[in-house]
Structure 1
Amino acid sequence: MVNLVTSSAKLASAAVVLVMVSGCAQTSGVRPLSFGPVASPELNSTRPAGSDAILEALNGGILPQEAASTLSRAERLRAMEAEYQALEKTPGGQSVAWASPVGGASGEVKAGTPYQVGQQNCRQYTHSAQINGATVTGRGAACRNADGSWTPLS
């Protein structure tokens, strides 16, 4: 009877480990971020819902201005949110992807290992994007402010 209980416990432990490992194996590749609507449909407004602070703090991001200026407001918002997510939550070297829901624009942001400058946490990061059929890349660093926003270093 003791052997049966021990065998059942070992089998249950093996099943738990198998489920945990299979979850890790499915994380390969870059998955685009999923965002809610960028406009408030109930108000028929084109103003992004709560996103102005992200756009302002990131000063338009690190993509070259001449390429970024051709993006729609919704595409710029997705690009800025990807930069914010990479800086705020993503381990160094991992990518945060974004894609336009209607156009052909897409991109990927990779942040490096966090480091300290004085009392601020900072990270270097790279943003590569496909805009109007061309690949553009921006590189820079940003530091986290006391209010949780990130400001690119100039």
Structure 2
Amino acid sequence: MTVGGKAKIVKLMVTGAMLAMAAITSGCATGKRAAAPLAFATPQTSYSSGDAFVRALDGGLVSQIQGADLGAEDRKLALQAEYKALEDAPGGQAVPWSGATGVSGTVVAATPYQVGTQNCRQYTQTVSVDGRSLVARGAACRNPNGTWTPLT
């Protein structure tokens, strides 16, 4: 099998996993069916690196990645990218981040969807460390104050 063929298979597997996660989480808040994708309202407060918006992610997906061993600054950059992807990025667009220690990553959020009255997104955090790509996947829903709460 060619490298391109393997990449297509991986892409199909990731897409399938994301669709399965959407089906599973679509009724988790209220039991209502998910509506069409939504555009998000502008947050009430502007985004900055140390504010409650990043802290509300409660460690985010990056904290779930085993073997990444990120320092505090790299973890902060990864969380900022998670917030940026959830809040601002079009579905499927990568939000890159790069730490001072050579660790880097990307966050990709899927198209927004609605669960009950909450706007939600699935997303993936990929961390590149020592030539390895480590991946975590999850979903988060947006609160009225502009913060995002990860679904567990």
TM-score (norm 1): 0.62
Per-residue deviation at 1:77?
0.7
Describe the SS at the equivalent of 1:66. coil
Describe the SS at the equivalent of 2:75. helix
Q: Which residue of 2 aligns with 1:124?
A: 122
Structure 1 runs not aligned, ≥5 long: 1-48
- Structure with bigger gyration radius: 1
Per-residue deviation at 1:66?
3.2
Using CA pairs below 8 Å that are at least 6 residues apart, which structure has the higher relative contact order? Answer: 2
Q: Distance in 2 between matches of 1:116 and 1:106?
A: 31
Q: Distance in 2 between matches of 1:92 and 1:50?
A: 22
Q: Deviations over 1:54-94 (max 9, x none)?
A: 343111111324335x2111111100000000000000010
Q: Which residue of 1 aligns with 2:6?
A: none
Give the 5 Å matches for 1:1-154. Answer: 51-63=50-62, 64-68=64-68, 70-100=69-99, 102-154=100-152
Per-residue deviation at 1:52?
4.9
- RMSD over aligned CA atoms reads 1.7
Q: Distance in 1 between matches of 2:133 and 2:49?
A: 29
Q: Distance in 2 between matches of 1:146 and 1:67?
A: 34
Number of matched pairs = 104
Q: Letter of the 1:53 partner, please give it.
A: A
Q: Distance in 2 between matches of 1:131 and 1:53?
A: 27
Q: Deviations over 1:18-68 (max 9, x none)?
A: xxxxxxxxxxxxxxxxxxxxxxxxxxxxxxx85152343111111324335
Describe the SS at the equivalent of 1:67. coil
More helix, by proportion? 1
TM-score (norm 2): 0.63
